[in-house]
Structure 1
Amino acid sequence: MTQTAVSGSADTAHHTLAPHEVVLLLESDPRHGLSEEEAERRQQQYGPNMLPQTKGSGLVMRWLRQFHHPLIYILLAAGAITGLLGAWVDATVIFAVVVVNAVIGFLQESKAEAALEGLRSMIHTQARTVRGGQVRQVPSEELVPGDLVLVEAGDKVPADLRLVRLAELRADESALTGESVPVVKDETVLPHDTPVADRRNMLYSATMVTSGTGAGVVVATGTATELGEIHRLVGTAETLATPLTRKLARFSQILTVGILALAAVTFAVGTARGEPMVEMFTAAVALAVGAIPEGLPAAVTITLAIGVARMARRRAVVRRLPAVETLGSTTVVCTDKTGTLTENQMTVRAIWTPAGTVEVTGSGYTPDGELLDATGDRAAPDANTALYWTLLAGALCNDTVLTSKAQHWSLVGDPTEAAMAVVAVKTGLDPAEAASSHPRLAEIPFSSERRYMATLHRLPDGGHVVLAKGAVERVLDLCAGQMRAGGEVAPLDPAAVLAAAEELAGRGLRVLATAMARLPAQHAEPAAFEPGSLPGTLVLTGLQAMLDPPRPAAASAVQACHDAGIAVKMITGDHAATAAAIGRQIGLLPDGEPGGGKPGGRVLTGADLAALPDEEYPQAVEKATVLARVSPEQKLRLVEALQARDHVVAMTGDGVNDAPALRRADIGIAMGRGGTEVAKDAADMVLTDDDFATIEAAAEEGRGVFDNLTKFIVWTLPTNIGEGLVILVAILLGLTLPILPVQILWINMTTAVALGLMLTFEPKEAGIMRRPPRDPHRPLLTGALMFRILLVSALLLAGTWWLFEWELAAGAGEAEARTAAVNLFVAVELVYLFSCRSLTRSMWRIGPFTNRWLLAGVGVQILAQLAITYLPAMNQVFQTAPIPVGTWLRIGALAAVAAAVVALDKRLRHRIM
């Protein structure tokens, strides 16, 4: 259902119309609002002001979907075949693995379904609306286009509104647009192409009013709002398979075809030789069972689960298991600025007075830091100096309240004013004590027209003082002089002040000017304190320059990503100059890079992106490192463009506006503390400390996860291939099977659990973050690794046949010879396991005893082999028999040969990764 203006269309640009035109278009009244009858009629016509609940898959379909995978098909077939062969214990284990995988996938997918519900909850609030001339409190769901809504500081905006009147109104739109500073609102008509972040005459659903009051006409509800558009983008954004799942799917498909082909060849050749069809079918089943890596799904699940636990210890909570590995293959990290790379806490970084500039240390609202002059010495704001009055004006001409609880500082009010209050506290000037000793008598509130605020105070000596702060140009208009370092007044030098302001702005800082004036008692009547009395009466004291500062570890984390070959791109809704300044501080841009965007440059704006031809868009996005003033739709297109150039994209964010891109990215990463519920629900991973540096740690863990999975596959495949080849050779040559199907199951299941799974606990190798990201097109197994797998498979084939025939020739029975063959397979797997702990280095370089889990698994496997060899009950079930010491010596010698050959191959191919 489309919800739009009564007489308008879905494309109506209400920010381009004057207030009275919007009122006429919506057939409303700017004072009395809609009548109750008309509101009820429109409610029936347009429906509730809420986002629709998207229908997801049913529980049954979601459960069945967990089994839709080639490898799962193989496992189900293996379980059925194993059951037909009478090995119900092994069949039960196989089916248990399948069910555990399905349960984990089902639970993870169920959590992901909460993303759209998070969006819907964003607009559940109460609204004050005028109906029939009476102010009423109604649920936000009952609002309709044309309703007149009243808002004040602290209100959540319940729908998209065109402002018709306001007073000192500001709104925090960071969750929707990424703008770090509250937006000053007015009623001015704006051009059609004005982006959402710059539409000062509009209020948007789910944003917050931080100060002032206003009234607006509802122009869009439900899905027609900007929030509704994001809801649509989240609902339609495709959730991609991760690099790991794509590679495993391809690997499983190839494995499925190979196993079926070998089984068919075995059956066809045997029957062609005149062998009984039932025996050949049994042999073909034996080959299939041998070739199936039953332990692979369990290894994947356990490896990812271990990765989840390791990441949780490093403050990254994973919501979807495959996401553990995705960071390890990431080639580009697209990160939001506000609250992700920065503190999301405005901080004064420099103060200029006619005596010079002092730098301010510390960041955020915690008042830790000091002021340093040009020589690096601490600057003390002595009474009646220019620095003192600059700090006092910022602290008292201020409506923000700072509070501290359990060493955590927070604010109620405007972040810009909070920054001025905090810098005062850093010098020992307590705003609360100053307000008590300098009581406010009157004020001229900030407005978008005046662009300054002024207050009148009584001094402790009985005199009065005017304090003002605001835009530099507007405060200069109020001043006739400027204060020298010691407090003396000198003639105003506007050029010097503007030059200082320009230099600070060039650093990406937001600059505000402060001024003061002592007044005689007869001129200090509050009733006479009005805007018209100020021009030409004040003395400029200085400039305060502030910025939402980078997180302390952001620069080092960005550098670590660069060292690992991972590109970092800042994508924000903030201004280009501000974004570029942060980019320079954290190493995304060189110091000389300008803040303005230009086609082909490293800093681009949303307008630049919109103007790019489609054929130039992907290349420009790939080159750029800072993208500012970007809308939610553009964030989504940016991610898609990078993916089109074969990048594996990680997207970080915390706002509602980030949700579509978070869902579309290969891995979405949300902020746990400052992030909205919408962003968390749309993401694959949540950072509990909101620190970009945690991404580096998570990427390291992700690379370790992929390494360990690769090691397991390289270790387990030779056994499966070797078993299949042994069966195939026996059928082709018409010989006795050296190993039986039940023995193959024993080898596969026990070694996978006792030996192979121990590789999932393998520590990360040194230098893992100095390697470049994996090529997305690179197969799961490289040519060099496939050669090693086939080499070990050939060694198993040759060694098994030699040992089997040797034992028979030496007078051993078939049971003893097969027992020797079974133990040879396990022995080669055991020594090969130590080699697979690193695919490039010898086990002696990484330390043979650094994985205690592996040593414990080896001990368990040895006991298991002794049991199947010497326990009568095991001999009866698995058709084995005790073997003498001489056979064990031959098994050990063959295993040693295999280990030596693999070590030689590794040495010759030390660059296989």
Structure 2
Amino acid sequence: MPVDNRRRRSCAHRARAAGQATVSVVKEHHTLAAHDVVVLLETDAERGLSAEEASQRLQRFGPNVLPTAARGNAWMRLLRQFHHPLIYVLIAAGVVTAALGKGVDSVVIFAVVVVNALIGMVQESKAEAALSALRSMVRTQARVVRDGHERQLASEEIVPGDLVLVEAGDKVPADLRVVRLAELRVDESALTGESAPVVKDEVAVPEPTPVADRRNMVYSGTLVSGGSGVGVAVATGAQTEIGQIHRLVGAAQTLATPLTAKLTRFSRLLTVVILALAAVTFAVGVLRGQPVVETFTAAVALAVSAIPEGLPAVVTITLAIGVARMARRRAVIRRLPAVETLGSTTIICSDKTGTLTENQMTVRAVVTPDGAYEVTGAGYTPEGELRDRDGAPAAVAHDHALRWCLRAGVACSDTSIVRDDRGWRVIGDPTEAAMIVAGAKAGVTPAEVGEEFPRVAVVPFSSERQYMATLHRERATGDHVALAKGAVERIVAMCTHQMGADGSVRPLDEDAVARAAERLAGGGLRVLATAVRSGADPEEFEAREGAVALVLTGLQAMLDPPRAAAAAAVAACHTAGITVKMITGDHATTATAIARRLKLLGDGHNESDHGDGRVLTGTRLAALTAEQYPPAVERAQVFARVSPEQKLNLVEALQARGHVVAMTGDGVNDAPALRRANIGIAMGQAGTEVARDAADMVLTDDDFATIEAAVEEGRGVFDNLTKFIVWTLPTNMGQGLVILVAILLGTTLPIVPTQVGWPGGISPPGSHRTVRNSLPLHGSCHPDHQKRGVHAQWAKSLGYWRVMRCQHCWAFLNGRSRLYFLRIQRTR
């Protein structure tokens, strides 16, 4: 250890000698002792920075904000609508037609182009407006020490070296290296995906330690759930962990949707074919001695007729209709093509915390020495009840052990639950909140406990003690009662007896307690033990920090439960041929337990055995070779303890194997993968702004089940577009080839450009009506069926084209044989 300290100090001194580059020289602040970090950043652990130095650093390092992506203005959004090969050909045709004096023909062509652009622009604007309504406009305030005085300022003004104070309820304003703390616990779920608050300490950790396990650091954007602490700001703005994720988001390439890619390839091929046919038509006409202007007009007519000019407009209209339908089902689409991508999705990579689960810790079971009880209800809403093994409501008033177990969970807490416009909200630790709600479901509330047993003293929870104890005075008798809750092993070690349902006290059965705790933990539940001591001595309580001879009252087991509709939605996705994979930063045991409840692993999977490859951790992923990685990712159903970069790599690996990947998430750690996925899906309520900005679709109800509905709509859109293409291609190609045949035979043109453009200009509204009335495909339609369906539709289209070509030629030639006027023949 002395050698390590000397190495760290020399590193700090070298960094300090580098002047203004001090912050950027050493990134691994978690490997340094707190004192070395203070020296490195040229600050003071008691007085902080001076106001003058803070001002200079603000000029040097810039404000503590993430760089914002430039959003295109209205003109840029409009110009983007013209970026399509078929639109280029239509514009060129319109220009040439206008140059030849064919004003009416030119107006019809340009009208189709402009209408298509306006529809796309309006829809993009609506999506951005809907997203803006979800953004929080609250500015974060921070408490810092400068010149030895505490002051409050906007988080944007924090600079590296600032001494920052945080306490329960605060949002951490920058990346901080902890220098002092008092029972500090931080909710890092938005950054790492871990659902339980992380207990912090000051001890340096090795360099390769993952972000989720760096106990001496607190990171920008996370929430303090309990205790308090003081830390030195080591990174601000783009240099924070969130800033690095922001850069990953910017570097991630967005992919074209399956339909967009197919239409682009088709458009390029069709453009080449059309231009080649037009050139052949012009060359043949000139060689036959026909007037150049008339021949050129014929070539333009062929090009215009063969181009499905209604296709861009109908694609836009169909997608817009899908957007409107999805909005009614609580899914906001930010980019139009994302609608169709949902219909082609083969794999959904879903974040666990907050997407598949409630992101609200909930007590699911209470075990006492004489009984076991199920707790119904989910989340922080105090609705539900305790039921015994027979399913009957628990007799809390007559079961002394159960009542004292619930009282200990409620009384040994500094957390409160409040109700606002958005529902029940926790101020403090989610684990304590879960125990408070469990007590409320049985009628044991904080108000009732506080009235009957006022608190006298407290021993706060710490990572060293692993328990919390409180001393109360029973108002009715004046006697003192000690209550404790904490880790099972620690509470059992402090107990000598256990309480029965009748209130009797008997010797502690440690083996039975261990078996019960192991059984609960095996199901992915977090288990805490509770204990009581009647007639406690206040002096002994204080001297022994609550570790008096206690009586065990029971165990409370909790987890972040799956959403009510998540299991059914996952089953529906499986039926529809879509694989659902869970990707989370949480522990493997917890992730596996939730996956079993959602049937992601099947009923026969043993959660304790990850050797079959269906559950992979970030460590195991990092150890895979390049050859092992793709098949391992394909087989696995649960990925636990993974970093943001690993989530991004998982999505890329699945895409490389030909999958269309949808990624869901709500945290900052999900943003890079959301950006890279074929369609990124963010949560609108609990999701971070970074995640929403990176996503293509935002769920306003944060429910995985909404994705199932959106997939159904997406498949309906795909079906409608396929039907339109089958309808429009024979029409356009038939018109073009009629003109080509007329040139080859040397006869009068059957149709002119104005007549060609008119059906294309009026067909999108008509097709809009057809598409609107088309019902979406049933959710059980497998993605492979769509591929086979497209091939069958192309065969149909070819057959329709042959029939229509023969009809066009027969109608015109039949009219000529009867000596009809030319205009009448052209409009038959």
TM over 0.5: yes
Asked if 1:465 is matched to 2:473, the reply is no
Distance 2:73 2:326 in 1: 31
Asked if 1:770 is matched to 2:786, the reply is no
Which whole-Å deviations, capped at 9, do the CAs of 1:193-252 have from their partners, x for residues lacking one?
A: 221112111110111112211111121122211011012112222222222221111111
Tell me how far 1:163 sits from its aligned partner: 0.6
User: Where does residue 235 of structure 2 map in the other structure?
Assistant: 220
One of 638, 647, 650 as aligned partner of 1:626: 638
C-alpha contact (below 8 Å) 2:452/2:476 kept by paired residues? no
1:369-388 matches, cutoff 5 A? 369-383=384-398, 385-388=400-403
User: Where does residue 409 of structure 1 map in the other structure?
Assistant: 424
Equivalences, count: 810
C-alpha contact (below 8 Å) 2:540/2:548 kept by paired residues? no
One of 648, 654, 662 as aligned partner of 1:650: 662
Distance 1:495 1:387, change over 3 A: same
User: Where does residue 567 of structure 2 map in the other structure?
Assistant: 555
User: Where does residue 412 of structure 2 map in the other structure?
Assistant: 397
1:189-588 matches, cutoff 5 A? 189-383=204-398, 385-405=400-420, 408-462=423-477, 463-519=479-535, 523=537, 525=538, 528-530=540-542, 532=544, 534-535=546-547, 537-588=549-600
Distance 1:591 1:193, change over 3 A: farther
Distance 1:183 1:212, change over 3 A: same
Distance 1:810 1:35 in 2: 100
Distance 2:257 2:243 in 1: 28
C-alpha contact (below 8 Å) 2:91/2:113 kept by paired residues? yes
In structure 2, the gaps of 5 or more residues are 1-17
Bigger drift between 541-550 and 797-806 goes to 797-806
User: Where does residue 709 of structure 2 map in the other structure?
Assistant: 697
Distance 2:651 2:161 in 1: 37
In structure 1, the gaps of 5 or more residues are 821-913
User: Where does residue 145 of structure 2 map in the other structure?
Assistant: 130
Which whole-Å deviations, capped at 9, do the CAs of 1:840-860 have from their partners, x for residues lacking one?
A: xxxxxxxxxxxxxxxxxxxxx
Tell me how far 1:599 sits from its aligned partner: 7.1
User: Where does residue 883 of structure 1 map in the other structure?
Assistant: none
What is the DSSP-based 3-state SS (H/G/I as helix, E as strand, rest coil) of the residue aligned with 2:83? Answer: coil
C-alpha contact (below 8 Å) 2:734/2:805 kept by paired residues? yes
C-alpha contact (below 8 Å) 2:361/2:559 kept by paired residues? yes
Tell me how far 1:596 sits from its aligned partner: 6.2
Distance 1:478 1:5 in 2: 53
C-alpha contact (below 8 Å) 2:191/2:222 kept by paired residues? yes
User: Where does residue 653 of structure 2 map in the other structure?
Assistant: 641
Q: Which has the larger radius of gyration?
A: 1
Distance 2:219 2:559 in 1: 25
Asked if 1:747 is matched to 2:759, the reply is yes
RMSD: 2.8
C-alpha contact (below 8 Å) 2:482/2:546 kept by paired residues? no
What is the DSSP-based 3-state SS (H/G/I as helix, E as strand, rest coil) of the residue aligned with 2:392? Answer: coil
1:770 maps to amino acid: S
C-alpha contact (below 8 Å) 2:225/2:430 kept by paired residues? no
User: Where does residue 708 of structure 1 map in the other structure?
Assistant: 720
Distance 1:104 1:227 in 2: 36
Distance 1:333 1:90 in 2: 48
Tell me how far 1:562 sits from its aligned partner: 0.9
One of 715, 723, 738 as aligned partner of 1:726: 738
Bigger drift between 139-148 and 655-664 goes to 139-148
Bigger drift between 313-322 and 409-418 goes to 409-418
User: Where does residue 797 of structure 2 map in the other structure?
Assistant: 789
Distance 2:528 2:105 in 1: 75
Distance 1:227 1:795, change over 3 A: same
Asked if 1:757 is matched to 2:768, the reply is yes
User: Where does residue 613 of structure 2 map in the other structure?
Assistant: 601
C-alpha contact (below 8 Å) 1:54/1:116 kept by paired residues? no
Distance 1:600 1:114, change over 3 A: farther
Tell me how far 1:123 sits from its aligned partner: 11
Tell me how far 1:65 sits from its aligned partner: 3.6
Which whole-Å deviations, capped at 9, do the CAs of 1:33-58 have from their partners, x for residues lacking one?
A: 23344434433433333323455667
Asked if 1:28 is matched to 2:43, the reply is yes
Tell me how far 1:139 sits from its aligned partner: 3.2
Distance 1:4 1:362 in 2: 58
C-alpha contact (below 8 Å) 1:330/1:649 kept by paired residues? yes
Which whole-Å deviations, capped at 9, do the CAs of 1:265-312 have from their partners, x for residues lacking one?
A: 111122222222222111111111211212111111110111011111
Bigger drift between 46-55 and 563-572 goes to 46-55
1:495 maps to amino acid: D
User: Where does residue 813 of structure 2 map in the other structure?
Assistant: 805
Taking CA–CA contacts closer than 8 Å with sequence separation of 6 or more, which of the two structures ends up with the larger relative contact order?
2
Bigger drift between 582-591 and 733-742 goes to 733-742
Distance 1:17 1:599, change over 3 A: farther
Which whole-Å deviations, capped at 9, do the CAs of 1:560-614 have from their partners, x for residues lacking one?
A: 1111111111111111111111101011112443446857611111222222222
Distance 1:818 1:183, change over 3 A: same
Tell me how far 1:538 sits from its aligned partner: 0.4
Which whole-Å deviations, capped at 9, do the CAs of 1:528-561 have from their partners, x for residues lacking one?
A: 5326154351000000000111011100100111
2:140 maps to amino acid: T
C-alpha contact (below 8 Å) 1:4/1:221 kept by paired residues? no
What is the DSSP-based 3-state SS (H/G/I as helix, E as strand, rest coil) of the residue aligned with 1:219? Answer: strand
* Amino-acid identity (%): 64
Distance 2:114 2:807 in 1: 37
1:787 maps to amino acid: A
